[in-house]
C-alpha cells in the first residue's frame, strides 16, 4: 500500500506478507505487543472499518518491531487494490465498485439509465449479439471511448441506453464494458425501473457506499484515463493508436 524497503517479516498461513507501510512501523514502535490492522486504500468511512475492508494485520513485538503478518480471509480487494485503471466515467465507476463489493449493485442500472453508450453493429445496422462467458445472450455496450477502442475496430453507433433497450433482441441482456477491467451484465427489468425513476426525478450523483454491496455479483473515483466523450468521427487509423492491453476480462 505504501513504499517500504524493509524485508518482510515472518508470516502465518500460506499468504506472503505485503511490504510493511511506514505508518504501521511507526504504530508498532508506539504500541509494542499489539495487532495492527491494514485497511484497503479505498475505504474512506469513519470509525472502525468493516472486516471485508481489512487486508490483514501486523503483530508488533515487545521491542516495537513488526514480527508477524496475518492475512484476512474475509478481505475483499477494491478496484484500486486490484490495480485496475481509474474509472473512465460514472458507469465504469459503478461497475467496478459493484463488482468488488465496494458499491451497491443497483448503482449500475442507475448510472446507465441516463447514459449514452456505444453499441457495436451487426450487418443490417442492428445491435451486435454475442454470448457472455457464462453463455448468456448479450448485446455489448461501451460507456467510454477507452473501452470501445479496446474492443477493436468495428462499426458502431452512439445511442442513449433507453434507445438501445428498445432494440434489444428478445432474451438478451446489456453487457457493459466487456473490454474493461471487469464487465457486467445488467438485468433488463432493473434497468427499466432505473429509467422510470430517472424520468420521474432529478438524477442525483450516486454516493460511495460504506457497506459491501450484497448484490454486487449481479450487477475514490479519480479522473478518467481517456477522453470524456465518444469521437464524432470514425475511429483513428491503427497506426496512430497506442496499443492497449486489456485487463482481465471477467463477467461479474
Are residues 29 and 85 located together in one domain of the fold?
Answer: no
Please give the residue range of the domain that contains residue 39: 10-71
Task: Please identify, among 27, 53, 71, the residue that sits at the C-terminal boundary of a domain.
Answer: 71
CB 98 within 8 A of CB 107: yes
Q: Which residue has the cell 474509472?
A: 87
Residues 130 and 197 in one domain: yes
Q: Are residues 67 and 145 in the same domain?
A: no
Q: Is residue 146 part of a domain?
A: yes
Q: Among 52, 71, 90, identify where a domain stops.
A: 71
Nearest-10 Cα torsion for 39, 108, 233, 146: 20
What are the CA-CA distances from residue 240 to residues 151, 235, 236 (Å)? Answer: 16, 10, 7
Q: How many domains does the chain have?
A: 2
Residue 165 backbone phi and psi in degrees, to 5: -60, -40
Task: Tell me which of 34, 51, 71 is where a domain ends.
Answer: 71
Residues 132 and 14 in one domain: no
User: Is 252 inside any structural domain?
Assistant: no
Within a domain: 43: yes
For residue 142, give the nearest of 231, 207, 213 by alpha carbon: 231
Domain check: are 45 and 105 in the same one?
no
Cα 209 to its chain centre, rounded Å, is 13
Per-residue model confidence as pLDDT tens for the chain (252 residues): 333 222 233 344 445 788 898 989 999 999 999 999 899 988 887 888 899 999 999 999 999 899 999 999 999 999 999 999 999 999 999 999 999 999 999 999 999 999 999 999 999 999 999 999 999 999 999 999 999 999 999 999 999 999 999 999 999 999 999 999 999 999 999 999 999 999 886 544 444 433 333 333 333 222 233 334 454 434 434 333 333 333 333 343
Task: Write down the pTM of the prediction.
Answer: 0.70
33 and 52 belong to one structural domain: yes
Residues 104 and 51 both lie in one domain:
no
Tell me, yes or no, whether 230 and 120 share the same domain: yes
Q: Clarify whether residues 53 and 109 are in a common domain.
A: no
Residue 128: closest CA among 175, 84, 87, 93: 175
For residue 123, tell me if it sits in a domain: yes
Amino acid at each position: 500500500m505504501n513504499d517500504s524497503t524493509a524485508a518482510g517479516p515472518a508470516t502465518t498461513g500460506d499468504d506472503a506478507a505485503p511490504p510493511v507501510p511506514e505508518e504501521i512501523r511507526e504504530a508498532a514502535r508506539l504500541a509494542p505487543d499489539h495487532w495492527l490492522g491494514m485497511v484497503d486504500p479505498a475505504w474512506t468511512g469513519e470509525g472502525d472499518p468493516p472486516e471485508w475492508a481489512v487486508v490483514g494485520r501486523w503483530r508488533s513485538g515487545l521491542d516495537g518491531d513488526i514480527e508477524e503478518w496475518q492475512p484476512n480471509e474475509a478481505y475483499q480487494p477494491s478496484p484500486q487494490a486490484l490495480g485496475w485503471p481509474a474509472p473512465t466515467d460514472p458507469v465504469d465507476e459503478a461497475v467496478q465498485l459493484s463488482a468488488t463489493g465496494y458499491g451497491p449493485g443497483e448503482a449500475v442500472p442507475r448510472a446507465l439509465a441516463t447514459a449514452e453508450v456505444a453499441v457495436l453493429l451487426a450487418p443490417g445496422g442492428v445491435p451486435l449479439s454475442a454470448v457472455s462467458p457464462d453463455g448468456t445472450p448479450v448485446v455489448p455496450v461501451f460507456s467510454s471511448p477507452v473501452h470501445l477502442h479496446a474492443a477493436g475496430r468495428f462499426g458502431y453507433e452512439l445511442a442513449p441506453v433507453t434507445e438501445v433497450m428498445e432494440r434489444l433482441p428478445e432474451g438478451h441482456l446489456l453487457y457493459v464494458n466487456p473490454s474493461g477491467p471487469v464487465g457486467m451484465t445488467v438485468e433488463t427489468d432493473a434497468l427499466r425501473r432505473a429509467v422510470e425513476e430517472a424520468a420521474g426525478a432529478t438524477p442525483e450523483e450516486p454516493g460511495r457506499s460504506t457497506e459491501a454491496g450484497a448484490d454486487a455479483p449481479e450487477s475514490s473515483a479519480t479522473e478518467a484515463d481517456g477522453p470524456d466523450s465518444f469521437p464524432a468521427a470514425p475511429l483513428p487509423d491503427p497506426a496512430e493508436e497506442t496499443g492497449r492491453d486489456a485487463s482481465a476480462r471477467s463477467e461479474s
